[in-house]
Amino acid sequence: MTSKTVLITGGTSGIGAETARLLLDRGHCVAVTGRNEAKLKAFLDAAGHPDRLLGLIGDAADWPATRSAVTATVERFGALHAAVANAGFTSADYQRTAGATLDDGDPTLWPPMVLTNVLGPALLAKAALPHLEATRGRMVLIGSVAGLKNAPASLYSATKWAVTGLAENLRLHATTRGIGITLVNPGMIDTPFWEGNSAPPFALPPRHVAESICFALDQPAGVDLNTLTIRPIGQPV
């Protein structure tokens, strides 16, 4: 890629943070959002490149915050070439906080997951697409293998199926405006969301997913790479 500006929601840890670091290493400008001010500051301090890195406090499921993040990114760097809808609950995080299934879950904890995983990417698309049209850029949605393979009574899986549908709906709309849409579906990834549990020994480091996101962003003009599914060797489902 020539130098570009990329906005990543939920960019202070896991896949989002690795993608931000990789893009910075390659000379790009990056804006990251996060809900936790302390985590955001720690990431910014560790990442360096203050001239090319912008940190923004915001909830991906909040429209004013998302719109403000896009506006601030464009004002700081002059344009927006890519937006990565990365903020979301992982399956391990969901199981720890809200229960693994509809039977054993706590319904009072479900709304934040549904809003973050489903509403969040839609809000980012609404805010970012006009700017991506101007740069003929790309939007990346982080889905999951759980959005391709059903899991018994899993609301988390249902939210990722919604992301799969949203990505194709967006593609049908965005391709007429010169914008690329890519859905990235990670399998088991070793991220902080496994807190309290051990990740499977074959789980991929988030860096590998970040490399795939950068691969999508690096496609030549006129190429729309729509779906990337990334499982570790050893994951049977």
Q: For this structure, is 94 an active site residue?
A: no
6 band by pLDDT with thresholds 50, 70 and 90: very high
pLDDT at 110: 87
pLDDT at 95: 61
1 band by pLDDT with thresholds 50, 70 and 90: low
pLDDT at 98: 57
Mean pLDDT value across residues 35-52? 94
Q: CA 127 to CA 65: how far, in whole Å?
A: 10
pLDDT at 9: 98
> Using one digit for the tens of pLDDT, what is the confidence trace for 120-178?
999 999 999 999 999 999 999 999 999 999 989 999 999 999 999 999 999 999 999 99
Q: CA 1 to CA 218: how far, in whole Å?
A: 5
Q: Residues 77, 89, 156, 194: which is the catalytic one? A: 156
Map tokens 């990670």 to a residue.
186
Query: What DSSP string runs through 179-236?
Result: -EEEEEEE-SB--GGGTTSPPPTTPBPHHHHHHHHHHHHTPPTT----EEEE--TT--
pLDDT at 103: 86
Q: What is the largest CA-CA distance in the chain?
A: 50
Distance of alpha carbon 111 from the chain centroid: 19
Mean pLDDT value across residues 31-42? 95
CA angle, 3 as apex, 229 and 68 as ends, to 5°? Answer: 80
Helices in the chain by DSSP H: which ranges?
14-25, 37-47, 63-77, 91-98, 110-114, 120-135, 155-174, 206-217
> Using one digit for the tens of pLDDT, what is the confidence trace for 90-106?
656 666 655 678 888 78
39 band by pLDDT with thresholds 50, 70 and 90: very high
198 band by pLDDT with thresholds 50, 70 and 90: low
Whether residue 2 has pLDDT greater than 90: no
